[in-house]
Chains A and B, each alone.
Chain A
Amino acid sequence: GESVGLHLPTLSVQEGDNSIINCAYSNSASDYFIWYKQESGKGPQFIIDIRSNMDKRQGQRVTVLLNKTVKHLSLQIAATQPGDSAVYFCAETDGTYKYIFGTGTRLKVLA
């Protein structure tokens, strides 16, 4: 079936460096994409979203890039901080209410 996946299961970055987390999706009908952050023992927390009519969206220290040609989504975190350590999930939806999540990437911030 259609699914969302991630390239890297674990990413380690030095504090202060930029982080890039990637995600590949397979459903060309998906038109809304979301990045969630999940800390241990907690539910997913919304970070940023993007619609398919956009290529880039920026938030506070985070940027999401969408490449519909290759069905690729990325999350960029600027000046990574220890509090950014978590598992990051991308999710997609094709205009329905159902989110399809990938398996997640664990981000480790090294002091």
Chain B
Amino acid sequence: DTGVSQDPRHKITKRGQNVTFRCDPISEHNRLYWYRQTLGQGPEFLTYFQNEAQLEKSRLLSDRFSAERPKGSFSTLEIQRTEQGDSAMYLCASSLPRTENEQFFGPGTRLTVL
């Protein structure tokens, strides 16, 4: 257990539905990251927050995706109008301010879109 928690751990939804995932980082970590991982692949960067500011969004993050970190603590990732191609593991990580600091990953949320 790294101290990063994610909820839910598994989500099954029908195509076209909206889903929201939550990430609670390690409390003193001000950097928070979202990654997506498909089967057999390494995690792919989606977006990054420093405190409450979203500083970068990958081109993988279409306009159906939105992430927030309203108080600089927990973060949510919402996917609207889900598609089958959204099926993946969504990972959250957090780290201290230095760029070299280890990113601690949560257990992930496994999304299956039927």
Contact = CB atoms under 8 A, between A and B. Distances in A.
Given A34-B102, A93-B99, A95-B99, A44 B91 contact: yes
Size category of the binding interface on chain B? 20 to 34
Nearest to B10: A41
A99 B42 CA distance: 10
B45 A100 contact: yes
A98 B45 CA distance: 7
Contacts of B43: 44, 89, 99, 101
A46 B4 CA distance: 13
Contacts of A32: 99-100
Contact of B40 (A41, A100, A103): A103
A51 interface: yes
Name, among B2, B40, B100, the residue most crowded by chain A CB atoms within 10 Å (CB to CB). Answer: B100
B104 interface: yes
A101 B56 CA distance: 17
A51 B43 CA distance: 21
Interface string A34-50: 10100001111110010
B42 A89 contact: yes
Given A32-B100, A97-B33, A42 B107 contact: yes
Contact of B42 (A41, A42, A96, A102): A102
B69 interface: no
Interface string B1-39: 010100000000000000000000000000101000000
Interface string B77-114: 00000000000000101010001101111111010000
A82 B45 CA distance: 30
B62 interface: no
A60 B27 CA distance: 27
A75 interface: no
Interface of A: 4, 32, 34, 36, 41-46, 49, 51, 89, 91, 93, 95-104
Given A46-B102, A97-B33, 6 more contacts: A45-B2, A89-B43, A96-B99, A97-B99, A104-B40, A104-B42
